[in-house]
């Protein structure tokens, strides 16, 4: 069952041009352009792309904190922009967010127990104090924190523990979708895998859908059922995680796959193979045609003609008119 559907979603931000007169129209920064995507109930979608590719903006459109400039966000088939007040309140409880910097996301003067209970107070104000403490204790155990730590403050916790608090806070209302925006990017590499595995286990056990955002494909590969790759606001490729990584059809996906750090005994180190050359163009004036063509090793003149639509290539869908034909690692 489809829980969330994005239909040609675009989000633009008006930005004042430097040196412009006040009466001049602002430039439009295209943060997300024409993204169509679905998330099924219980499914984990990995969302990857370099910094600036529009991942956080897409996340904010999904949780409803910024409106679509065009296109639609459908929650259980209903347009988010047209929900009744009551349904909108329910949507806010059903979709929860986990943020990148767990300590910054927590109020330093609030015990972690109260931080976890806060969404309950907002959405289930009739629950008694005992009931709230019981629910908080329960969810703390789920994320691997002793309920005895309920009355401690965030600064007494490690980064990994703070993120467990952030996850507990997202879980306490029994949401249907969690949007985790780079939830492990600020954590030590040694604890990243623990937190990723915890989230993976929890959402599968509880039947929750998850959008797991990362700039690094290696972080999402083990947690995702499907992966969506974004570049400069557009979807480049989407498909089941395994074939998308084993045999990417889009040159940008291949670049991300090759940027995955792999142990390289010959050089006695981890090889972080260079991503494609050059910087991401400005989203104020994206290249015509395929937005990736200015950095694409396979670009040809006709790539400038029109933005390619997603189309099936082997087991994934890629927005590329010259996709990688061979199964790379076959």
Binding site for Mg ion (CB under 5 A): 55-56
**Strand 70-75 vs strand 177-181: parallel, antiparallel, or unpaired?**
unpaired
- Interface residues for ligand ADP in 5-24 (CB under 6 A)? 13, 15
Interaction mask 266-285, ligand ADP, x per CB under 6 A: -----------------x--
Residues near ligand ADP (CB under 6 A), total: 13
* Residue 54 binding partner per list Mg ion, ligand ADP, none, with a CB distance cut-off of 5 to 8 Å that depends on partner kind: ligand ADP
Candidate list 3, 6, 9, 31; residue touching ligand ADP; CB under 6 A:
31
Does the footprint of ligand ADP cover residue 56 (CB under 6 A)?
yes
Does the footprint of ligand ADP cover residue 153 (CB under 6 A)?
no
Q: Is 194 exposed, middle or buried (0-12, 13-18, 19+ CB in 10 A)?
A: middle
> 91 vs 38, 142, 286, 314, CA distance in Å?
17, 23, 34, 36
Candidate segments 55-63, 171-179, 243-251, 314-322, binder of ligand ADP by CB under 6 A: 55-63
Q: Which is nearer to ligand ADP, 35 or 223 (CB)?
A: 35
Does the footprint of ligand ADP cover residue 234 (CB under 6 A)?
no
> 60 vs 74, 94, 214, 232, CA distance in Å?
14, 14, 15, 16
Q: Is 13 exposed, middle or buried (0-12, 13-18, 19+ CB in 10 A)?
A: middle
- Interface residues for ligand ADP in 194-233 (CB under 6 A)? none
Does the footprint of ligand ADP cover residue 55 (CB under 6 A)?
yes
Residue 56 CB, nearest distance to Mg ion (Å)?
3
Candidate list 53, 163, 224, 253; residue touching ligand ADP; CB under 6 A:
53
Q: Which is nearer to Mg ion, 55 or 221 (CB)?
A: 55
**95 and 179 Cβ atoms separated by less than 8 Å:** yes
Residue 110 CB, nearest distance to ligand ADP (Å)?
27
User: Where do contacts with ligand ADP occur on this chain (CB under 6 A)?
Assistant: 13, 15, 29, 31, 49, 51-57, 283
């Amino acid at each position: 069952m489809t829980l969330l559907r994005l239909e040609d979603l675009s989000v633009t931000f008006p930005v004042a041009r430097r040196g412009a007169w006040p009466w001049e129209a602002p430039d439009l920064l295209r943060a997300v352009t024409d993204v169509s995507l679905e998330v099924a109930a219980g499914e984990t979608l990995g969302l990857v792309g370099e910094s600036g590719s529009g991942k956080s903006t897409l996340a904010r459109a999904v949780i409803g904190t910024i409106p679509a400039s065009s296109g639609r966000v459908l929650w259980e088939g209903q347009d988010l922009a047209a929900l009744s007040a009551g349904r909108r309140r329910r949507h806010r409880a059903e979709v929860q967010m986990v943020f990148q910097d767990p300590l910054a996301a927590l109020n330093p003067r609030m015990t972690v127990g109260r931080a976890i209970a806060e969404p309950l107070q907002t959405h289930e104000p009739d629950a008694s104090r005992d009931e709230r403490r019981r629910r908080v204790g329960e969810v703390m155990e789920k994320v691997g924190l002793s309920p005895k730590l309920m009355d401690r403050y965030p600064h007494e916790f490690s980064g990994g523990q703070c993120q467990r608090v952030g996850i507990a806070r997202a879980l306490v209302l029994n949401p249907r979708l969690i949007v985790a925006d780079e939830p492990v990017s600020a954590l030590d590499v040694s604890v990243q895998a623990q937190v990723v595995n915890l989230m993976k286990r929890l959402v599968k056990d509880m039947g929750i859908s998850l959008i797991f955002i990362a700039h690094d494909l290696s972080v999402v590969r083990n947690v995702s059922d499907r992966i969506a790759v974004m570049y400069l606001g557009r979807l480049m490729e989407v498909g089941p995680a395994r074939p998308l990584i084993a045999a990417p059809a889009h040159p940008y996906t291949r670049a991300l796959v090759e940027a995955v750090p792999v142990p390289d005994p010959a050089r006695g180190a981890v090889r972080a193979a260079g991503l494609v050359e050059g910087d991401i163009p400005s989203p104020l004036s994206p290249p015509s045609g395929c937005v990736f063509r200015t950095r694409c090793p396979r670009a040809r003149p006709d790539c400038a003609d029109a933005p390619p639509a997603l189309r099936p290539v082997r087991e994934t869908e890629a927005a590329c008119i010259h996709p990688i034909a061979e199964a790379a690692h076959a």
